[in-house]
Structure 1
């Protein structure tokens, strides 16, 4: 796995993916933007602040236009998520025992999420990721203000700063598969 210094990861990633490096300013991180078909996939770092607590994250965001309001959230089962289930958080099953054991799936359309997750390449890419927090969000940058009506983002985040180009490339591949599938399903423009 290729490791790069924190200072150059977005510049290096842009170079390796024919993306555009954007230099950050003030509290805004450097970023890489990658054009894929009609979408822009944006990779950056983000610090979540809550009082005295802060957490560094890496996030990936693609602005999308939903056609039918199909929404979903997929994340790896972990201790916190198990607690949520104990207190009634609902999740969907896709009838794949291994996948259902590893991931929590929420959606407003059970048929469409099952159809999306029938793609073996998509499921394989998700299973390769040690950490998965994937959703269609109506919050700017996942944790920001609510987006204007009819604006959404396909979002993915990791609870750390990523310095591994191979991991970033794998997430890029995952995003391309999801965007293509959502478009083919007529869920996004």
Structure 2
């Protein structure tokens, strides 16, 4: 068992079976993972240890790589105290036009119209809104190191702690599938041919 607790490992094995994925046990230097091909997108669940001074925190990650045709990026997270202070000082925030969603989340991106188009999808907003905590972005970094190239990027979710709730994991994988399909339909991204 690599980096995750025994109870988390049991839940991840159950989750992998329920989504017809593959559980890969980790080791000393590598986290355990669940990998699944959903709508021909390869989606990976794992954990990451983040060191801050003497403290180490475990984060659950979900990632999917793709060809970023347009160079499009965005970040979305829940609105908090620091976000409210940032807004007072003119921090960029893209408003979607749904007042409840706009009040609850901070969205940044490099193409305001495309961000609005992506999040105009009501189902996507509902799926994001259902999450108790969320940090979601398109990045050109892979696992914390800037090694992606040839227009390869990844959609990445991150949250503090280990997610053990199988239903929540299913919801997050469904959110990834919905976001990736929508971005593909918008002509922004394309699939990478990969196998488990």
Same fold (TM over 0.5): yes
CA RMSD across the alignment: 1.6
Q: 1:89, CA displacement in angstroms?
A: 2.6
Partners of 1:42 and 1:160 in 2: how far apart?
17
Partners of 2:148 and 2:158 in 1: how far apart?
18
In the alignment, structure 1 residue 94 sits paired with structure 2 residue 99: no
**Residue in 1 aligned with 2:123?**
121
In the alignment, structure 1 residue 77 sits paired with structure 2 residue 79: yes
**Residue in 2 aligned with 1:179?**
180
Alpha carbons 2:33, 2:44 under 8 Å: kept: yes
Structure 2: 5+ residue runs without aligned partners?
Answer: 1-5, 191-196
Q: 1:108, CA displacement in angstroms?
A: 0.7
Count residues in correspondence.
Answer: 185
Summarize deviations over 1:47-78 as a string: whole Å, max 9, x none. Answer: 11133121111000001111111111111111
Partners of 1:159 and 1:151 in 2: how far apart?
26
Q: 1:115, CA displacement in angstroms?
A: 0.7
SS of corresponding position for 1:21: strand
**Residue in 1 aligned with 2:160?**
159
**Residue in 2 aligned with 1:29?**
31
Alpha carbons 1:10, 1:44 under 8 Å: kept: no
**Superposition TM-score, scaled by structure 1 size:** 0.92
Alpha carbons 1:75, 1:132 under 8 Å: kept: yes
**Superposition TM-score, scaled by structure 2 size:** 0.88
Q: Which moves more between the two structures, 148-157 or 175-184?
A: 148-157
Alpha carbons 1:44, 1:60 under 8 Å: kept: yes
